[in-house]
Amino acid sequence: MAKIQSQIKIVTLGAIFLLSFIFIPYPAKAQTVNPGDVVINELMWMGSSISDADEWIELRNTTVNEISLEGWRITKNTGTETNINIDFNEKSVFPGRFFLISYKNADNSILSINPDVQTTTTNFLSNDKLKITLYDINNKIIDVAGDGKNPLAGDRNLKASMERNKIPGDGSAKENWHTATDSYGYLDIEATELCTPGDENSTAAPVAEAGENLWGITGQILEFDASASFDPENDPLTFSWDFGDGTTGADIKTSHIYQKSGTYIVVLSVSDGTLIAQDEIEVTIYSGALAIIEIYPNPPGNDANQEWVMIKNFGDEAVNLDDWEIKDAKGYSKKLAGEIVGDAELTIEGISFLNNSGEETVYLCLPNGGIVNQVSYSGNVAEGAIYYRDDQGSWHWTTPINSTKSSTTKAKKTTTTKKSSSKTTSKIASALVPKALAADEASYNLGKDYRFIGEKGGGISKPNRLLVWILIILGIILIVFIFVFPRVKSAMSRGP
d(C-alpha 85, C-alpha 74), whole Å: 8
Mean pLDDT of 179-196: 94
Q: Domain ranges for the chain, please list them.
A: 38-179, 214-286, 291-443, 460-496
The answer to whether 38-179 and 214-286 have equal CATH topology is yes
d(C-alpha 447, C-alpha 312), whole Å: 12
pLDDT digits (tens, 9 = 90+) for 300-349: 999 899 999 999 999 999 999 999 999 999 999 999 999 999 999 999 99
d(C-alpha 74, C-alpha 233), whole Å: 27
d(C-alpha 377, C-alpha 397), whole Å: 10
HSE at residue 329, side-chain half, CA atoms within 13 A, is 12
d(C-alpha 241, C-alpha 238), whole Å: 11
Report the CATH architecture of 214-286: Sandwich (2.60)
Beta carbons of 165 and 127 less than 8 angstroms apart: no
Q: Which fold has domain 38-179?
A: Immunoglobulin-like (2.60.40)
Residue 18 vs residue 435, higher pLDDT:
18
Q: What is the pLDDT at residue 434? A: 34
pLDDT digits (tens, 9 = 90+) for 113-169: 999 999 999 889 999 999 999 999 999 999 999 999 999 999 999 999 999 999 999
Q: What percent of the chain has pLDDT over 90?
A: 70
* pTM (two decimals): 0.60
* Mean pLDDT of all residues belonging to the chain: 83
Taking 90 as the threshold, does the pLDDT of residue 299 lie above it? Answer: yes
Q: What is the pLDDT at residue 31? A: 80
HSE at residue 222, side-chain half, CA atoms within 13 A, is 23
CA nearest to 124, candidates 141, 97, 99, 146: 146
CA nearest to 63, candidates 168, 173, 179: 168
Mean pLDDT of 43-57: 95
pLDDT digits (tens, 9 = 90+) for 370-422: 999 999 999 999 999 999 999 999 999 998 754 444 443 333 333 334 343 33
